[in-house]
Structure 1
Amino acid sequence: MFYSKFLLSFLLILAGILHFVKPQFFMKIMPDYIPLHLQMVYISGIVEILCGTLLLFPETQKLGAYLCIVLFIAVFPANIEMAKKFYQIHHKYFWLTVLRLPLQIVLIWWAYQFRK
């Protein structure tokens, strides 16, 4: 479990950085009903980096775990939107987008393990 925390932190920080490096990718999967797509991509990137950083330290790990759970729930609509869009255009990697949906549940469970 010890190394697991660092793996999740690394993945969150990397994903957060990618929000700034490749914002167009994330803007494409934003549901239409969410306003200010670019700003929301940047905000979610900051939150992902913050989550990953908070998990690294014992003093902030519990807060980081709960923030991760909120984040994973908040980005779930974007993953549904991505699956929907990939299905509509018959994208060859549609099946990967469908796999992301149960992965979100696994990520919530994974983050929940660090709340102690």
Structure 2
Amino acid sequence: MTTMLSISGVMHFVTPKPFVAVVPRSLPGKEMLVAVSGVAELVCAGLVAAPKTRAIGGLASAALLVAVYPANISMAMRSRRQSRGFQLIAWMRLPMQFPLIAWALQIARESRPVSS
């Protein structure tokens, strides 16, 4: 999870154009939203990486994955003019988001101190 979030977060700044392109058209300030989501991914990666903050990092990561789901839906819906390969990836991302959310929640659950 840490690696995935770190790579994605960095890519928001290295190559922001693909991320800007998937922001739903109805939202203003697309570049700012991409930057904010990139920072959020990097923060979540850091929280998950540190044992003391891993539980909150898992919850924050799950929330972030839910929050960006509309962008994935937007990308899939607008992929008609793209290559078949791009369309396949865009549509496959939708169901793949759920195991990622479950993984983040599992990280949160497993990282909580056990009560005696």
TM-score by length of 2: 0.89
Give, in angstroms, the shift of residue 90 of structure 1.
4.6
- Between the aligned partners of 1:45 and 1:26, the Cα distance in structure 2 is 10
1:78 corresponds to 2:71: yes
Code of the residue aligned with 2:46 in structure 1: it is: T
Describe how 1:12-51 pairs up with structure 2 within 5 A.
12-51=5-44
Deviation at 1:79, TM superposition (A): 0.5
What does residue range 1-116 of structure 1 map to in structure 2 within 5 Å?
A: 8-87=1-80, 89-93=81-85, 94-115=87-108, 116=112
| Structure 1 runs not aligned, ≥5 long | 1-7
**1:85 positional shift:** 1.3
Tell me the amino acid that sits aligned with residue 92 of structure 1: R
Instruction: Write the letter of the residue equivalent to 2:30.
Output: H
Match for 1:91: what amino acid? Answer: S
Structure 1 counterpart of 2:38, which letter?
G
CA distance in 1 between partners of 2:19 and 2:82 (Å): 19
Structure 1 stretches of at least 4 aligned residues deviating more than 2 Å after TM superposition: none
Residue 33 of structure 1 aligns to a residue in which SS?
A: coil
Secondary structure at the residue paired with 2:52? Answer: coil
Q: In structure 2, what is the Cα distance between the partners aligned to 1:39 and 1:80?
A: 20
